[in-house]
Structure 1
Amino acid sequence: MRPLLWTALVLFLSSVVLGYESKSGLPFNIDVEAILNNKRLLDAYSRCYLDEGPCPGPSREAKKYLGEIFRTNCAKCTKDQKKQTRIAFRKLKEKRPQDFARVFAKYNPGNTHLASFNAWLKSHEP
């Protein structure tokens, strides 16, 4: 199950980051099922985010924004990006809490924004 969650997380975050600073963002035309069934891609992206391996494609760029996303609760994200980010992190946190903790701790040392990020994950704000 872990690889499936990582794939979803990585691809959602890559999409979020690629459109992070644009006013309109990018459309989310992601075939989630195809992503969830690609163990090799998922493993590659997860190793990248945890600095345990090379970074494929857009994951290199995505890493630059994870800290800001955690600190600001995706403040610069579009409505769709916020929705997809919530989905990805909710699933990761629910199914693999230790992986969520590792990623969060890596990009927010000391977990200083963990409480506010968790509250944001639970919210339904646009």
Structure 2
Amino acid sequence: MTFLEAEHYIGLDIDDRILAVGREQLADDIVATKRPTLEVISEQSLKRVAARQPRWVCSKGVLQHVPPEELDDYFGSLAHLIHAGATGLLFSKAGRECERTSPKTWVHSFDRLHAAAGGHGMRLGRLKKRGTFMELRAA
């Protein structure tokens, strides 16, 4: 956490327990000097973060746990930040079809992800052939 200025590190999650574990991993001097923001995702927290106009939004280890029927909510949340000027980087496998690989894990079709992003005025592109790395921008 030495690259960015103070108050430029933001972590959002749906589960406060995950954020608590993250807080525990941070050294006291990092918390004191960098003053990271760690918040549960909500309409209000997304608005606060969007007002700070982040340049980058990274979603790693998330998309594969989003059920197909919740893709619209996922991209709707990201839209707050992307439309504020950020570029999104999504790290997840994408397949030809949606496939459930375990009780809480899915591989989504790239076409469905692209359509869901488009429904919120965003454009999803592949950064690698298999869709492991995807870029999300305002359309």
Instruction: Establish whether TM, by shorter chain, passes 0.5.
Output: no
Give the TM-score normalised by structure 2.
Answer: 0.33
Give the TM-score normalised by structure 1.
Answer: 0.35
- Greater RCO, 1 or 2 (C-alpha within 8 Å, sep 6+): 1
Larger proportion of strand: 2
Larger Rg: 2
